[in-house]
Amino acid sequence: MNAKFSLQNKGAIITGGGSGIGKAMATTFAEQGADVHILDFNADAAMELVAEINKQGFKATAHHCNVADWKAVSETVSQISKVSSIDILINNAGIAHVGNIEACKEEDLDRLYDINIKGVYNCAKACIPFMKDKSGGVILNMASIASSVGISDRFAYSMTKGAVLTMTYSIAKDYIDNNIRCNCISPARVHTPFVDGFIKKNYPGNEASMFEKLSKTQPIGRMGKPQEIADLALFLCADEASFITGSNYGIDGGYITLNSK
């Protein structure tokens, strides 16, 4: 019996794959047989994860890369193409910002644009020619519920994730005849080391109560888990999802639908 959602003989590039959601994706994809290539600005985290994956008998490689730098991205993708097929790209690398438009400095906006928007552009532009050459591929972008609904004090972050959503639609439309599928995932709050660090920094001594408060902003009563996002990503990148393109998948504990009622 063939295993469902196999990624055997597929090459997958995952940006920001050294920690959090990206780490769960990289591990899951490798376990399903993919040749995983992690692009991360934090080289140490990426190499540590790769060592763990390889120790388990799966295949992964770390690449130190700033996704905001077109030259670095294009050179890295070109190097990967020499040792692996490029079947899957997951644009997961991203940064957050808390504040309304008045609290958003110009340098904050530029930094979020460079990573959250230009990073997606750079990686997709670098990978699409290789996907076209092999007559197909999958691009999965990490958007957010902030792409679709207004969230207080998330001006710059929402702006960038709105762009990710519309880039997804555009790429799906433009490359459907090349058999390149493009979708995005829009999570609500997910429990990652970033969340723990944010709470510790901004609410010292009140971490437990703040964690509970943030958890309850999702109607389901808790934050998402990185593995839950990774499992949805696996489905969307596997051949079983070959009829799906140009779609935005909310994974938000009922946030968008149930909060509106």
175: domain CATH number is 3.40.50.720
- What H or E segment, with its residue span, contains residue 183? strand 180-187
Q: Tell whether 158 is covered by a domain.
A: yes
Q: Tell whether 6 is covered by a domain.
A: no
Question: Does residue 43 register a pLDDT over 70?
Answer: yes
Is pLDDT larger for residue 5 or for residue 207? 5
Predicted TM-score (pTM) above 0.85: yes
Q: Tell whether 102 is covered by a domain.
A: yes
Question: Does residue 260 register a pLDDT over 80?
Answer: no
Burial of 137 (0-12, 13-18, 19+ CB in 10 A): buried
**Cβ distance 14 to 26 under 8 Å?**
yes
- Give the active site residue among 157, 175, 249, 255: 157
Whether residue 175 lies in the annotated active site: no
**Cβ distance 175 to 127 under 8 Å?**
no
Residues 186-233: pLDDT tens digits? 999 999 988 888 788 878 898 899 899 889 888 999 999 999 999 999
CA distance 29 to 38: 11
HSE, CB side, 13 Å, CA atoms: give it for residue 40: 25
Q: Tell whether 142 is covered by a domain.
A: yes
Parent domain of 239: 11-190+225-259
SS (H, E, C) 80-128: HHCCCCCCEEEECCCCCCCECHHHCCHHHHHHHHHHHHHHHHHHHHHHH
Q: How many domains does the chain have?
A: 1
Q: Tell whether 47 is covered by a domain.
A: yes
Q: Tell whether 248 is covered by a domain.
A: yes
Instruction: Please give the share of the chain, as a percent, with pLDDT higher than 70.
Output: 98
Q: Tell whether 20 is covered by a domain.
A: yes
**Cβ distance 67 to 95 under 8 Å?**
no
Residues 59-104: pLDDT tens digits? 999 999 999 999 999 999 999 999 999 999 999 999 999 899 999 9
Radius of gyration for the alpha carbons in the chain, expressed in angstroms and rounded = 18
Q: Looking at residue 2, what is its pLDDT? A: 61
Q: Looking at residue 6, what is its pLDDT? A: 96
Task: State both tokens at 95.
Answer: 């940064």
Q: Tell whether 207 is covered by a domain.
A: no
Residue 122 binned pLDDT confidence (cut-offs 50, 70, 90)? very high
